[in-house]
Amino acid sequence: MTTTDINFMTAVDLSQRIRSGDLSCVEVMQAHIAQIDRVNPQVNAIVTYHPDTALEGAKAADDALSRGDDVGVLHGLPVAHKDLVDTAGVRTTYGSPIYADHIPEQDALMVERLKQAGAISVGKTNTPEFGAGSQTFNEVFGVTLNPYDLTKTCGGSSGGAAVALSCGMVAIADGSDLGGSLRNPSNFCNIVGFRTSVGRVPVWPSAMPWTLLSVQGPMARTVQDTALMLSAIAGPDARCPVALTDEGDSFNPLTHSLERDFEGVRIAWSGDMDGLPVDPRILTVIESQRGVFGELGCDIDEGCPDFRDANEVFMTMRAASMAASRAELLRTYRDQMKDTVIWNIEQGMKLTAAEIGAAEIKRAALYERVRKFMETYEFMVFPVSQHPPFDVTQPYLTEVAGVQMDTYIDWMRSCYYITATGHPAISVPCGFTDEGLPVGVQIVGRHQNEFAVLQLAYAFQQATGFWKQRPEVAE
């Protein structure tokens, strides 16, 4: 078995081989450290790196197995944490010069749970400043490159995580998603990213624990690996007031099969979500795989719910959140913030209570329209992104399919419309453009029905196999 074989095993397979003794945790970690040392200088995905600590953790994990200890579902698996997530004793910058030397004193809850499940951290993954924007670059660590084309963006804001997975540097990775930050980089890097319902993965610490837009969640190379990771990080926690009460174990693919008969299941399909500008290259790839859902037994209808007001809802609530969390920083450190972050904070500071309240009311109506629509359709299938990976020197897209974009996030409406509805959505590899750039498909499920989303995503993945195509830089 070669090092590369180990790097590109599924997390499920690695976990089983570690438990059976076919592979030691040290062997697995050494393979991933070697891959990071070889590939990361080319793509800049992992920005804070601690191989010695990771290897010590692997040795301790082997000792635990030799003692017959009861170990977690992720035991011995290499993981990296997004640089927005607090890690005790490990540099966490949030992609900002303001926090360039920041070292948290405690782990975020998601990091805590990954440790408890046995995952071993190799470091932190790159993110744009404060996670703002779907292009991964910042003044602290620079830009992260797309492994399928080093001249293109990897997306964001969980861009470093997506690249690390795509290149076999880690077995699983965590991310977060406000307007598409789990889904978009996964779509750009040919991996899986799952935006679950708010509260499915509880968030702590949080200055705004009642917020209902942003989530943290799993990323992996396969749907079953994503489910395995979700089983470790989902579940209730009293520190998060919006945490769902279902236990995470229900997502474990080793005990709850993702296999399902989809005969007669109804799907609503739309290539443009009823009028969004979408690059023809995206539509060509997505449409080429539409028949797969039919082959799985699904009944497919063209259509989507009424997304009226989704843009206003999201942009208003995002701006309000930015102002609440960053306005004080702006007053003190304006000269150390990028222009788009400043603009977004100031947009929030201009909002009135009446405007924020009106957005909440419109969001309630939007949710109700989508809920009723999904009484007929169990799933909706859309593009993840409206445009393929673009030039890495471009901070954000200013035009899509001939339509001008007004702000730095307008080009991500296909993701953030779903954020505004609150429904779970996953990005799954769907193919490649003629230039060889990855394209994902977005599968949206009913309210809080994550397991069903995983099942359809798994069926699509198994029928297509695009996830097996690796970037040349990783070979």
| Helix spans in 44-86 (H) | 51-67
273-288 burial, b for 16+ CB within 10 Å, e for fewer?
A: beebbbbebbbebbee
Rounded Cα gap, residues 315 and 320, in angstroms: 9
- The answer to whether 82 is a known catalytic residue is yes
Q: Cβ of 360: how many Cβ atoms within 10 Å?
A: 13
Active-site residue, selected from the candidate residues 181, 197, 206, 214: 181
Q: Are 191 and 92 in contact (CB under 8 A)?
A: no
Q: Are 456 and 262 in contact (CB under 8 A)?
A: yes
- The answer to whether 157 is a known catalytic residue is yes
Our CA angle for 422, 426, 428, nearest 5°, is 160
Return the beta strands (E) in 168-289 as ranges. 172-177, 192-195, 215-220, 266-269
Residue corresponding to tokens 């471009």: 394
Active-site residue, selected from the candidate residues 24, 157, 158, 321: 157
- Three-class secondary structure of residue 214 per DSSP: coil
Element (H, E) at 441: strand 438-445
Rounded Cα gap, residues 363 and 347, in angstroms: 19
Rounded Cα gap, residues 457 and 426, in angstroms: 8
Measured between alpha carbons, how far is residue 155 from residues 58, 392, 395, 435 in Å? Answer: 31, 9, 10, 17
Return the beta strands (E) in 318-437 as ranges. 379-383, 399-400, 403-404, 425-432
Q: Are 35 and 163 in contact (CB under 8 A)?
A: no
Rounded Cα gap, residues 131 and 185, in angstroms: 12
Q: Are 123 and 48 in contact (CB under 8 A)?
A: yes
Instruction: Work out the end-to-end distance of the chain between its first and last CA atoms, rounded to an integer number of angstroms.
Output: 15
Active-site residue, selected from the candidate residues 15, 24, 82, 270: 82
Residue numbers annotated as active site: 82, 157, 181
